Structure 1
Amino acid sequence: MSEEKKDNLQEAEGKEKEILEVQKEEDGKTNSEHEHTQNPDSENEDPLNEIDESNAEDAEDEGHKDRHEIPMPDYHAMNMEKLVAELEKLLKNEKVQAVKTHVDNIKHEFDLKYSELVEQKKEDFLNEGGNEIDFKYTSPLKIRFNKIYSEYKDKRNTYYKNLERTLKENLAIRLDIIEELKGLINVEENINDTYRHFKEIQDKWRNAGPIPRMSYNDVWRTYHHHVEIFYDFLDLNKDLRDLDFKHNLEEKEKIVSQAENLANESDINKAFRELQILHKVWKEDIGPVAREYREDIWNRFSEATKAIHQKRQEYFKNIDKVYEKNLEVKEEIISKINEISVKTVNSHGGWQKLIKEVEELREAFFNAGKVPYKVNEATWSSFKEAVRKFNRNKNAFYKNLKKEQHTNLEKKMELVKLAESLKDSEDWEKTTPIMKKIQSDWKNIGHVPRKYSDKIWEDFKSACNHYFDKLHAQKNHANKQEYEALDKKKEFLDNLKSFELSGNTDNDLEVVKNFISEWKSIGRVPFNKRNIESKFNKIIDALFKKLDVDKQEAELIKYENKLEQLANSDNDSLIDNERIFIRRKIEEVKSEIRQLENNLQFINADKNNPIVKEVRKNIDEHKKSLDVWKAKLKEVKNLNN
């Protein structure tokens, strides 16, 4: 700062004393314009005072015009991500001095929502068994918000630090202008030169720049006071004064006309902003008018101002009604959340449905708009408590669900272990039913914790797929062999049909035994082609009949081939399984015999009755079958001796 400016700033302190003296003088005046400016309205706050205060604020804020042009969104309806984006956009695109109200609103809403989130996270932490002193939470979104907000404060502080210096410098300049204006009185020079000097002072005043708001009205009144003194001085040159008064009256009439037209503006906020500008021009750019017109022109301007103020008051009354309606909507939403929070739900799906409903209600709450300021905090607290109550019940359910899921996890891990232990087994008949059962058991076990579900499912599926892939490969191979065996048996059967006994019983019996052995050695045929076995057995049974071999002996001869296979097997379990199978068949035949004999007792007829004969025939057939099975069991037992 130059030495000259420093001196001016020091002198300003002394000159401000004069301003206070002028203010006292001004307060005592009966000038109509000043009376209307200072006296409040009997019912409402004086619109003129309100405009004066607003203009005083704008006088030190070079960004006030930009501020009025920035829309004010409904930040309450925005989530935290959107709020951060809005803050970032304001800082990037707008002047820092123009966005204070916007930034304050954004911060207020972000802090509310973030506080709610932290409280919920803390409650979740405690519900999961955490210790309160160990709780810590932050989020990338909060870090990002803090960074942008800190950047805003740095820019704002830098701006206002520079502004403070500029305002003081401008105040010193304006005080100098007032001193220069005072010096025009009683000056020894041509009146035209003095008037021209006065106009130059007015131009300098208009371009002097913003000053501190606390000094604005007082400095203006002091300036205006000395302008009036100068016009009184110009009374010596009435023509110049009257010409200026006429010009000022014309300009003020234009302003009054514009103010009266603003009453038709539908956007009341825009009308009020433009009215402020008109008052600023009236005050700062236009000088006084002739005394006979002052009261009338001011009264017209004042009445136009009050008309707009009245519309503005009505607008705010209507806004209050809207806010009351919004309050009703929000109270209804809170009530619905409270109703949901006491519902009894015992399934994950049911809770997911309620969570969705509450989330929609939360969204509706934020979109419902503002409520009256006096109930804003209470409404927000009620909303938070309703949501928190719902979350507590939800968390209690999921806490128990997690215990159940951990139990399910242990069960499924046991199934994984069993599946992996069996996946390489080739005991298809024994292992396949077990593998199918554990797959069924897996489906019947409930959910497990999400972080484990994918891995254990992959492990289980991998083990099962490994086993069944091997099983299918084996079946495919076996099917190929079975069809090859079928072709061989068809050919064998065709040859067997043309066979004739030689008449030598011993030789023919040996040949038949070889037929049986060779047939068995060909192997299994596909299941749906097993009727070829019955065709072979019919031919063999017919040959045995021709050789006079009884049925039991024939059965045992056919069984010899299987016994040989069992004897040559290294698997003892095959013999055990065969023995178990025969014993089960023996018990089944015995049961049939007992049932038939029991039925026979209830038939009230002699032995020649056809029904009695049929039953006795069946009993005899079963007894013969029983003898065959007993003989087979004896042969199997001999294998272990």
Structure 2
Amino acid sequence: MTTENNISDNEEKVLNPDSENMANSPENFQKPESSEINTEELEKNDDLNNSENLLETAVLEEHEINSETNSPEQSLPPHAELSQTMPSLNENIAEPEEIKEPEETEKPTIEEEKSEEFSDSKFEVDNDVIVEQKLNSSAEILAKLEKIANLQDSGVHFKEFNELKDQMQTLIQSESAASKNKLSEDETSHYVHPYTSKLNVVLHMFREKQDAYHKDLEVKQEENLKNRQAIIDRLKNLYTNSEAGTNLFKAIREIKEDWSNAGQVAKNEFKLLNNNYFFHLNQFYEMLDMNKEFLGQEHAHNLEKRQHIILRSKELIDEPSVQKALNELQYLHKLWKEESEPVAEEFRESTWLEFKEISNKIHDRKAELFTKIDAEQAENLTKKNDIISKMKAIASPEKEVNHSYWQQSIKKIEDLRTEFLKLGSVPKKMSNKNWADFKEVLRQFNSKKNDFYKGLKNTQQENLDKKLNLIQTASDNMNSEEWETVVPLFKNLQEEWKKIGHVPRSQADKVWTDFRAACNTFFNNFREKNNVSEDNWKENLKQKNEILSELKNITDEEGSIEKIEELKNGWNKIGKVPRENLSINTEFNKTLREKLKLNKINEFDLKEEGLSEAQLSDKARKIKNQISDLETEVVKLGNNLGFFADSSRNNPLLKETYVKIDDKQAQLESLKVTLHQIISGE
């Protein structure tokens, strides 16, 4: 008896050279190595299947079972889940949000990656989304991308989508370059391709659907696992607890059809699940007193499947895409092993040899693929080295640069980084060096950029401290009505503010708001006070002149103290006088001190004559508070003088300020003497 020979070492999995999954790490690319389908087990299964056929014949003729056999499918190692979708190469769509050094992560080898991609996919011959040829118009490509992104199951078409995306980006670059050549330099810097925005929207929509597709796939795999376990339970019950009169032929056909349509499950669950199914299927065939009609129908059904597989494999010989042909061939081998057993003995060997011969012809085309991969890798190396050179030029500017330069450079580096990572693999012997050069130039750029902003941050902090000091001075004086002194002060503060540079962005709005509020408060008060009628000011001046004349005529006669007190209170009740007559206040204070000295009494004793002994401590407390307030006012006036370049007494703008300081100093000395007398009991 002849058996199926081992399939040649051409039955290996080959990575699509267009896949981006291998582009980002140089260590991971290697040419595919042979991985034969385990045909020794196929031969073993042929023997088992022949034994099974003999056994089934014996059951029909003699109605007795002589031995136990296993289905050929049971000993064959599964390559992937049942009824998976046709394999296609995954290409991730990635848009980096910030400049960062790529991480060196271990990625799967070509064979591992292709094996995973194959086992998670299903071939669809009539898929109208497959891109057979490149489109020439960016509008056509964008429309095609949008059509795929709007599909309900767009996640399964990621390979076709990525091929179109690469065409679109190439066209946009070429069209943008052509358009910029026709524009001036200023127009070129602001030029944006009209399809860029819409392309980003389509890419974002597709990426969201692809993520949702993978999440949904995990849920479906879990549901499919439960369904397949339920099918196995039905199969087990069919030969252990079947009721009398059950149509076994119909029941087993429904179970096998349900199993075939149950959908994919997780890889780690498949092998045990598949072996369990075929174990119970063999048990069913062993217990079933199968008639020749049933066996013939089963063989005919499986033979028809084999013929369809052979027909499709012949079409793959002339498939333009070698990678597509290899991927689909692997899927056809899975179908052969899982869904086309058993067949009649006279067709078993012949169909297998025909399928094997066709498979060898397809695998002979792999040399074309390797030649294409070598050429693409050499081209990728040239492009990546050019990108590294551009990044070095940006990271090492010839002249001193500013904030604007680094902001523009960040975008340029990000674009170059994205372009670099999007390119495919390079020759293995140059891979490590190319990757190291790329990481090094990124480190250089980030280091110089960070050094620039660290220095800028220190300068901005110093500027912030200066502005906070100006805000404090403005806040301390914003309610002052000493216009002759404080108006020049605020003008000087505003000039100083303009001279100070930038502050940290997080504080810029706050410090400006605080400073502006203090300035607005002061000048609003200033305008409000100076809007008083000029007639009222003149009337006030007239009343103050009358009081001043009365004060000058007072002598040291009895009752003069009460008169002085009355005049002082009347003076304080009168409002402002015209600015040019402000000196009358100084004259009044000077005359008041002279009259008090003449009468040998302190100014602050005017209202406190005749206090009881119990009230003396309260009087001392009040004087202490007055001393403290006067000292604070003297210090504030002295600080305000420091904001003027010429703060000497000869400065006419500061004349009034110095008079006020002298008056307050005199009052301060007088209060200290009075406080000493109260404490000492004099």
TM-score bracket, shorter-length normalisation: 0.3 to 0.5
Length-normalised TM-score, structure 2: 0.40
Length-normalised TM-score, structure 1: 0.42
User: Is the radius of gyration larger for structure 1 or structure 2?
Assistant: 1
Bigger fraction of residues in helix:
1
